[in-house]
């Protein structure tokens, strides 16, 4: 630290940061298009989020959650880093927790990590399938009061818990 005293005019208040919170894009990013990534970045900018966190899921997590196979984690992660470089924004972060763990990570652990490391309030940007899947977990009611959901598209068939907590989520594209 500098030992030189700095003088501030009487009544000086530092400028307030208008950007708050984190938009967390929780997805496999297997079939995600650049348009959807751009949409998430535009929403983050439009709503003044301080961070857009891209959270790619590990193959084991996807296999356990949906039973579908996806390409290797590092390939999907490389696509995200390339998109981030093209976009050139400092506020976009590719979260690497699942790449470090290299195994199944429950959504509870992922959300706990994300909410501890990124500024609040937290918004989870997910597909309609992921939202229905998340609503089927027993911990959903514990998490829905801590995070809000932004769905890319409103699901045609809603999980009963999503219906119950309709005030905690919104969809970008209405079906």
Per-residue pLDDT reduced to its tens digit, 109-145: 999 999 999 999 999 999 999 999 999 999 999 999 9
Q: Does residue 173 have a pLDDT over 80?
A: no
Per-residue pLDDT reduced to its tens digit, 17-57: 667 899 999 999 999 999 999 999 999 999 999 999 999 99
Where in the chain are the domains?
Answer: 29-173
Tell me if residue 6 falls in helix, strand or coil. Answer: coil
Between 102 and 29, residue with greater pLDDT: 29
pLDDT for res 174: 59
| Residue 154 phi, psi dihedral angles, 5° rounding | -70, 130
pLDDT for res 2: 59
Q: Does residue 1 have a pLDDT over 60?
A: no
* DSSP designation for 69: -
Select 29-173's CATH number: 3.40.50.300, 3.40.50.620, 3.55.40.20, 3.40.50.1820: 3.40.50.620
pLDDT for res 73: 93
CB 56 within 8 A of CB 94: yes
pLDDT for res 117: 95
**Mean pLDDT within 6-14:** 77
Name which of 18, 34, 42, 78 is nearest 150 in CA terms.
42
CB 140 within 8 A of CB 160: no
Q: Which helix (H) or strand (E) holds 46?
A: helix 34-46
Residues 6+ positions from 51 with CB-CB distance below 8 Å = 21, 22, 23, 44, 91, 92, 93, 118, 119
Tell me the torsion sign for CA atoms 129, 19, 165, 146.
Answer: positive
pLDDT for res 100: 87
Q: Does residue 88 have a pLDDT over 80?
A: yes
pLDDT for res 67: 83
pLDDT for res 17: 65
pLDDT for res 9: 81
State how far the alpha carbon of 64 is from the alpha carbons of 60, 61, 163, in Å.
6, 5, 25
Neighbours of 21 (CB within 10 A): 18
CA atoms within 13 A on the CB side of 99: 14
Per-residue pLDDT reduced to its tens digit, 65-80: 888 889 999 999 999 9
Q: Which two tokens stand for residue 96?
A: 């690497």
């Amino acid at each position: 630290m500098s030992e030189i005293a700095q003088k501030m005019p009487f009544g000086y208040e530092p400028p307030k940061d208008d950007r708050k919170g984190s938009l967390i894009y929780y997805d496999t990013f297997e079939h995600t298009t650049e348009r959807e990534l751009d949409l998430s970045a535009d929403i983050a900018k439009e709503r003044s989020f301080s961070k857009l966190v891209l959270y790619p899921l590990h193959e084991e997590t996807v296999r356990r959650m949906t039973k579908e196979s996806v390409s290797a984690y590092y390939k999907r992660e490389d696509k995200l880093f390339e998109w981030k470089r093209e976009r050139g924004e400092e506020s976009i972060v590719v979260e690497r927790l699942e790449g470090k763990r290299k195994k199944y990570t429950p959504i509870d652990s992922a959300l706990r990590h994300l909410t501890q490391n990124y500024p609040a309030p937290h918004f989870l940007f997910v597909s309609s399938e992921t939202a229905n899947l998340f609503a089927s977990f027993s911990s959903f009611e514990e998490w829905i009061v801590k995070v809000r959901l932004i769905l890319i598209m409103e699901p045609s068939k809603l999980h009963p818990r999503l219906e119950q907590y309709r005030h905690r989520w919104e969809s970008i594209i209405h079906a």
